[in-house]
């Protein structure tokens, strides 16, 4: 969560990352690259987060690994597919967008459940 004005907050990680990275080297000025950054950030929200961050939350934060074993096993199947897609991209690219570190790399490497 970030307070952007008195009593006004943003809660969503990717919104915060884009807000904080605008005007820096982490968020490109070129429209094509901006769209690529957003594509990977959407991927993080709809692929990475439900399959990887959710089980990590159940295990690390809630401490309910035993009670959640079946759900964790189901999520792991999707998680391995997500990681394979990311690894395939990074086999031929140093970063997720173009040839530089960006907010997309940050979004895919951290998650609030891990903080």
Q: What is the pLDDT of residue 63?
A: 94
> Block means of pLDDT (10 residues each) for the chain, length 115 residues?
90 87 89 92 88 90 93 92 94 94 90 49
Q: What is the pTM of this model?
A: 0.75
Q: What is the pLDDT of residue 111?
A: 56
Residue 109: HSE in the Cβ half-sphere, 13 Å Cα cutoff = 9
Q: What is the pLDDT of residue 114?
A: 47
Cβ of 82: how many Cβ atoms within 10 Å? 20
Q: What is the pLDDT of residue 91?
A: 97
């Amino acid at each position: 969560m970030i307070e952007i004005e008195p009593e006004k907050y943003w809660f969503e990680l990717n919104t915060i990352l884009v807000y904080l990275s605008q005007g820096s080297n982490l968020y490109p000025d070129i429209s094509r690259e901006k769209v690529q950054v957003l594509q990977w950030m959407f991927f993080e929200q709809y692929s990475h987060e439900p399959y990887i961050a959710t089980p990590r939350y159940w295990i690390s934060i809630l401490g309910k690994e035993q009670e959640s074993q079946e759900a964790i096993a189901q999520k792991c199947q999707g998680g391995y597919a997500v990681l394979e897609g990311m690894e395939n991209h990074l086999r031929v690219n140093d970063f997720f967008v173009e040839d530089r570190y960006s907010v997309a790399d940050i979004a895919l490497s951290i998650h609030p459940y891990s903080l």
